[in-house]
Structure 1
């Protein structure tokens, strides 16, 4: 086999249900000068057997077995073995379309200043059925670490292609829990250009077993990680000492039982102004995540969000304030619809009750909620002290 142009890094843990489809989508790429590095992160299901079977029929597959160490450990283990000019990422439950690598490599060749490129993806469910949505991300050039929550220079990571040299320069992945991908994008952007293509490159699987979508606890952790990654970027770009992300902190974050607890953990090593910013950014990010993730805010989350936004929302510019107000009202309307009246009224500041009531009226007119729900919300708002 000739030297590969692209090393494809595929981390997997207990991916027996989807790994074959994922690998076959890589094997059938129109650009076939590739090597597929699959890092089995201590799987206990049938993954190991399936990988052995697939590798026996394709010399481009190289299997790396390691004890379970988590996604960051698995990704860095894969990067150690990369020697091609380009590295492509792929998850064990997603599917790439045949011309994905050809499209991305063509763009990278035409734009030598570009260090990383991704693109759009169709959302599918755990059975492979199209969910009716194509994910398209904004340009990384619009990134703003001071926005609430931070606007990230994000590239959809399961469809990332990057220059191997750039990944080496930034030192690979750090232990920014549930946000190692966003952190990598911030650091890569400091050395060159990042780009999201309009082309649909594959299918992104949404299912209950995914780490980022499985619980509000993981949502809190992800919200913290993304905002700490942004603060870290702001520090570097101001010539200040960077934050560190020790591996041992990961379990402390995961064990946190509330948004307040995880916020306190995240404050370690921050300045007073960074702590004040983090509180509001963390609240805003969890609001944003629950707008499209399958989990929901709990009452304590709603109270934290309301207090945090009341403290510092006024420091944001008018456009940012409008976005936060919109997110808050959407959250309240969603909670109303689910019958979570205390949570709905807890997340909405008193000044926004008229706007929330207007949204309720629209939903009543369309038949999406009943008068009992509206009456219940009114009673909760009048009788509960937050």
Structure 2
């Protein structure tokens, strides 16, 4: 049994924007947890539905864990993460999206893994996401103690993984930037920076059930490219500094050029950390820019 008076080890935080219709799945999965060694932090990113009323009803119940609700003006997923990190006071944290939910023993497994192997050299834990039919998303993690995310994906790794970070570590790095008129910066920005300094403990166990909703960002990537070019260009410049292979860096430059065309940034070449490769990527980036425009017209 968990000691109710003891500070929880981990904060489960959930950014939510008009997801009252599906948020109950996450809540119900937290009620089912075999360990209550956590708190639930909900960052309401400017919802106009009944999210506030729904969460307030849950808060009044005897859930066995604390629920904290914070409302903010709508700014996009990355700004919700900024707000979450400013308000988390537990050793670990994990983001469970508003259309996802945890496996029943996820908290217990995370706590046991961390208490057994925690070390200053680890930023946290990387675990598996699954579909609701139990199928692993992408590939399993390698059979070893720890890994860097960039090494996993550069060596053939595939699929979203669940990242459980030490709060102290994730707050060592800059917040996600905010660009006027835009509402998207990839969460991978912080993960990439952390990856340069830390490994993640591997836990080849599913902890999160993922449902890719039609209104989710992963379903609308071309529209994201079109609406948030400054945010994408920012991330591409960061990746240029850390991409290890020439192929990966070239693809990054192509994306950077396309985002620069969309944002009408005439100084993109001067701003690029990889100027020669960016020059080579210009015609390819222009073609990709045209493809984005075409794809977005198709979805209108």
TM-score when normalising by structure 1: 0.57
Distance change >3 Å, CA 54–CA 283, structure 1 → 2: farther
Q: Could you tell me whether the CA contact under 8 Å between 1:6 and 1:86 is conserved in 2?
A: yes
Structure 1 residues without counterparts, runs of 5 or longer: 125-129, 239-257, 287-297, 305-339, 341-386
CA distance in 2, matches of 1:190, 1:281: 29
Q: Deviations over 1:302-342 (max 9, x none)?
A: 999xxxxxxxxxxxxxxxxxxxxxxxxxxxxxxxxxxx9xx
CA contact (8 A) 1:10 1:89 kept: yes
Report the 3-state secondary structure (helix = DSSP H, G, I; strand = E; otherwise coil) of the residue aligned with 1:180. coil
In 2, distance between residues paired with 1:42 and 1:114? 34
Instruction: Decide which of 173, 176, 191 is 1:185's aligned counterpart.
Output: 191
Q: 2-side partners of 1:192 and 1:220: how far apart?
A: 33
CA separation of 1:201 and 1:167: change in aligned 2, threshold 3 A: same
Partner of residue 69 from structure 1, selected from 60, 75, 79: 75
CA distance 1:107–1:33, change in 2 (3 Å): closer
RMSD: 4.1
Greater relative contact order structure (CA < 8 Å, 6+ sep): 2
The answer for the alignment partner of 2:211 in structure 1 is 205
TM-score when scaled to structure 2?
Answer: 0.71
Work out whether residues 227 and 282 of structure 1, in 8 Å CA contact, stay in contact via their aligned partners in 2: no
Pick closer, same or farther for the CA change 1:226–1:66 going to 2, 3 Å: closer
Gaps of 5+ in 2: 245-257
Give 3-state SS (helix, strand or coil) of 1:31's partner.
Answer: coil
Q: In structure 1, the residue corresponding to 2:82 is in which secondary structure? A: helix
Alignment partner of 1:17 is 2:54: no
User: Residue 81 of structure 1 aligns with which residue?
Assistant: 87
1:5 equivalent in alignment to 2:12: no
* Aligned-residue offset at 1:55: 0.9
Count of aligned positions? 264
Change (3 A) 1:24 1:184: same
- Report how far residue 183 of structure 1 moved: 0.9
Tell me by how many angstroms 1:231 deviates: 3.8
1:15 Cα deviation (Å)? 0.6
Instruction: Please state if 1:114 is matched with 2:114.
Output: no
Do the aligned partners of residues 56 and 82 (structure 1) sit closer, same or farther apart at CA in structure 2, a change above 3 Å counting? same
Higher helix share: 1
Is it true that 1:55 corresponds to 2:59 in the alignment?
yes
Are the counterparts in 1 of residues 229 and 263 from structure 2 also a CA contact under 8 Å? no
Q: How does 1:262-281 map to 2 (within 5 A)?
A: 262=262, 265=265, 267=268, 269-271=271-273, 272-273=275-276, 275-276=278-279
Q: Is 1:31 aligned to 2:62, yes or no?
A: no
Summarize the alignment of residues 113-132 of structure 1 with structure 2, pairs less than 5 Å apart.
113-124=121-132, 130=133
